[in-house]
Homo-oligomer: A and B are copies of this chain.
Amino acid sequence: MGIHDDAAEIRAGGWRTLAALHGLIDTALEKALQAEHRLSVVEYTVLEALSRQDGWHMRMQQLARAAALSSSATTRLVSRLEDRGLLGRYLCADDRRGIYTELTPQGRELLAAARPLHDTTLEATLTEAADLPELAPLVRALHDLEPTPAAPAKGLTAKV
């Protein structure tokens, strides 16, 4: 079992580390947000992405990419949040196939309430991860990242 070259093994190891850290954080956030605000991580992500558009609305597909979700999953996700009054859905004049979503005041409110918990949990989990020998290097690398300004991550760069 050793004919696959070293580079591949390094990549695989990196991927395992990445997955492990992701799983750790994801689970922690999931539990915290669920318990305190009845929000899943994806739901929070969507609200947060919308808030970052600040006054702008997003199409379903942008949302789908931002949340790394299929479009069908996005439909239901938006429906859930809409049913809770956290965001509004309305079609826009210039292309009536498209549907725009926008945070409601309640949505902004809930996001503001959830953000501290989110950030705290994230910090705590990263600190915890930094104690695990396998994860520590990645945690450090993550911290040293971002020479970039507060640029719009993902693919949600433009309004249309």
Contacts and interface: CB of A to CB of B under 8 A. Distances in A.
Interface of A: 1, 4, 7-27, 45, 51, 54, 68, 112, 115-116, 118-119, 122-123, 126, 133-134, 137-138, 141-148, 150-151, 153-154
A6 to B, nearest CB: 10
Contact of A19 (B16, B22, B24): B22
Contacts of A54: 1
A123 B153 contact: no
Contact of A150 (B13, B116, B142, B146): B13
A22 B20 CA distance: 10
A15 B25 contact: yes
Contact of A13 (B26, B137, B141, B153): B153
A13 B146 contact: yes
A3 to B, nearest CB: 10
Contacts of A145: 10, 13-14, 17, 137-138, 141
A141 B21 CA distance: 14
A120 to B, nearest CB: 8
Contacts of A133: 148, 151
Nearest to A24: B68
A22 B18 contact: yes
27 contacts: A1-B51, A1-B112, A4-B119, A7-B123, A8-B122, A8-B123, A9-B150, A10-B145, A11-B123, A11-B126, A11-B143, A12-B122, A13-B150, A15-B25, A16-B153, A17-B145, A18-B18, A18-B22, A18-B25, A19-B45, A20-B68, A20-B153, A23-B68, A133-B148, A133-B151, A134-B151, A141-B141
